[in-house]
Amino acid sequence: MNHFAKLTLLSGALFLAGCIGNNDDPATTTSVSAVASLGAIKNAPFRVLALDGVTEIAAAGKTASDGALPVISLPAGQPFILEIKGAAGATYYDEAKAADVPFLTGTLHVAKSTAGSSLGVSPLTEIAYQRALKLAAGGPLTVGIINSANQSVSLAFGLGDITLAPSLVGSPTDLNGLTNTEAGKYAAKLASLAKLAANANGADATPALTLARQLADDLSDGMLDGKKDATDINTPSYAPGSFGADWNTALAAVTTGITDPNAKAALAALAAPSTQLPSLPVAASGVPASGAYNAKISDGSNCAVSVSGNNATVTAAGHTVSLALDGTFVETTGGEREIGPAIFGSGTVRNYMGYTTVGGVLNSIDLNFDGSGKLIYAYASKIADDGPNPPAGVNTVLVCAGEAFTGNLADLPPSGLNAAAPSQFTATALVGNYNAPLNVDGSGSCTFSLDNQGNFSITTASLPNGKMDVPYTNLLTNSQTASKVQYEVHPSLNGDWFLFDVMRQADGSTRTGILVNGSLQKTCSTANDPTAKWAAMAAQAGTYTGHTQTTGTADLSNKFNNPCSVTITATGKVTYNTSTGTQIIIGPDVAGASIGKSTNNQGQIVDYLEIGNAALSFNFNAKNVTAVYFSSGLADICTWP
């Protein structure tokens, strides 16, 4: 992420910090309605603490018999931690057990930068709290750390904000009455985690609580791998390698009894959580240590970087940019992340930035230092034309690699006045014009082209302006192979930034990946074409007759070893039949049908078909199809001779 994208993030963080620091009336309070859910936690003591984890800032109490907390009055604009502890007499409703079970030990937390009217504490907020403690590395929690941890867990679990209240589930009726709302989605995901834990260890008396503890330990380092740091978690209630698939199975079981058909379909289609938390920057106050730092630009020439108080100066290629830094920094610890053009690093990285407009020209500086205070990378610019293809000579860009930079100088963009340069494009096999669906399910559209000089153009509604022209000068030369070329585009004044790659895939299709402002990458690919996928399914036309498994998995009639059959027509339409007459029909003329590859694809071009209430996954090599019928919550594996 470069400096423009970070400015957008920082402005929100600084606004929060400003609210905290400028609260003129400390007595001003906010009334907060909170709920505690594993499911619904009952009769458990709670307290509200300052970020030191010790000082109580609101009256303590107990959760109510329905899992709600009494209305809490909190100082307006003050960050806080809400802590709920297991105790004698406390219980919670475990969706996997469909009963209230003891909540005798353990603690759940939610940390938040400022109070709102709604608050939830859950296993997901505990994951975020433990992640925040890890990011703080033994130091105090800060608003920036809290926001980063909460946001990363929200993104990983596909929720808008995990600190808002989920729907409370204290009985099967509550679970079956979930609605297609953010609170309903939250509750469905919590319930499915309880089911997942019980599926892994049916003997556990408190599966939801056990899983909450284990996931918080596991994800504290940002990665779900069955370990707390380097130490194995003892008998985890989940398998990290199949977490997504297992979670989907548990979610299907949870949504079986939901009475609202629209809510049932929507909640059953929720995406599985990620097994890795996004690495989000943490904002804080400060400037780098004063001093002079030696650096190099792409051609090996010297670049001088100096800092004195808030003032920073970058000089290279006969040009100088000098201005005051903003007095803040963004810190990222662990994982792999972008900190500049084609530069990735691990460990602790601090980014300091500043910008100002003089005579219509935007001046900016972005400095990145490692955990030892060594300069990794400096970016400085004077931008007079923020268009995608500015005239030569109107903008100045200085890109400098410091002592801690571990990449190749030649991969840095050239420094100085932007101007034409000889093309370094070599991946000529990718040259051409492409029209393709944007997403794997065929929704959305995209056109892109690549010429023999390396100029790239892409048009799709997923781009903020609909279209982007990428000149070859943005090409990352070390990324070029016979089947791949990668670009990075730095932002215009509106703060957007982009990462593109064009790739020839193993199946012969050509795709481009689009990463905008650090969001999840979208794929525009000829391989996404639903017409071609249905044609590939049609190539398997015929009738396949067999039996369901003799043990282990029930078929749709809840029996074993039943006759079953699959018929595929010349148009790709698929009909799955059981001996009881139940049918699943999916095809190109069926509303809402989609087709693609499953995550455990066994080498077939096409093997996963889905409609609103059912899905089929084929393995023609093994001669079987797995059928899932969401409305009944049952599944079977049909194997033919």
pLDDT in tens, 225-236: 889 988 999 888
Strands, sheet with 107-112, edge to edge from the N-terminal-most edge strand: 56-62, 45-49, 80-85, 107-112
Q: What pLDDT shows up at residue 135?
A: 86
Residue 392 shares a structural domain with residue 453: no
pLDDT tens string 443-453: 788 999 999 88
In a domain, 293, yes or no: yes
490: domain CATH number? 2.40.128
User: Does residue 339 fall inside a structural domain?
Assistant: yes
| Residue at 300 is within a domain | yes
Whether residue 110 is found in the same domain as residue 144? yes
What is the pLDDT at residue 338? 47
Q: What is the pLDDT of residue 452?
A: 86
Bridge partners, 469 (sequence order): 457
pLDDT in tens, 401-441: 999 887 778 767 778 887 655 566 778 889 999 999 887 76
CA distance 586 to 615: 8
Cβ-proximal residues to 139 (8 Å cutoff; 6+ apart), any chain: none
Residue 156 located in a structural domain: yes
366 Cβ contact partners less than 8 Å away, ≥ 6 residues apart: 2, 3, 6, 340, 351, 352, 353, 378, 379, 380
Supply the mean pLDDT for the chain: 81
pLDDT, position 279: 67
Of 206, 239, 268, which residue constitutes the final position of a domain?
268
Domain final residue pick, 227, 242, 268: 268
- Quick one: pLDDT at residue 518? 58
Only one residue has tokens 């610890």, namely 333
506, burial (CB in 10 Å: exposed 0-12, middle 13-18, buried 19+): exposed
Q: Residue 471: is it exposed, middle or buried by C-beta count within 10 angstroms (0-12/13-18/19+)?
A: buried
Inter-residue contact 378 to 357 (CB < 8 Å): no
Is residue 423 in a domain?
Answer: no
Domain count, the chain: 4
Residue 498: give the domain boundaries.
Answer: 428-528
Q: Are residues 523 and 563 in the same domain?
A: no
Flag whether 274 is in a domain. no
Q: Are residues 262 and 297 in the same domain?
A: no
pTM given for the model: 0.54
Task: Say what percent of the chain tops pLDDT 90.
Answer: 32
In a domain, 118, yes or no: yes
Residue type at 83?
E
**pLDDT surpassing 90 at residue 174:** yes
Please identify, among 472, 505, 528, the residue that sits at the C-terminal boundary of a domain.
528
442 phi-psi bin (left φ>0, alpha ψ -120 to 50, beta other)? left
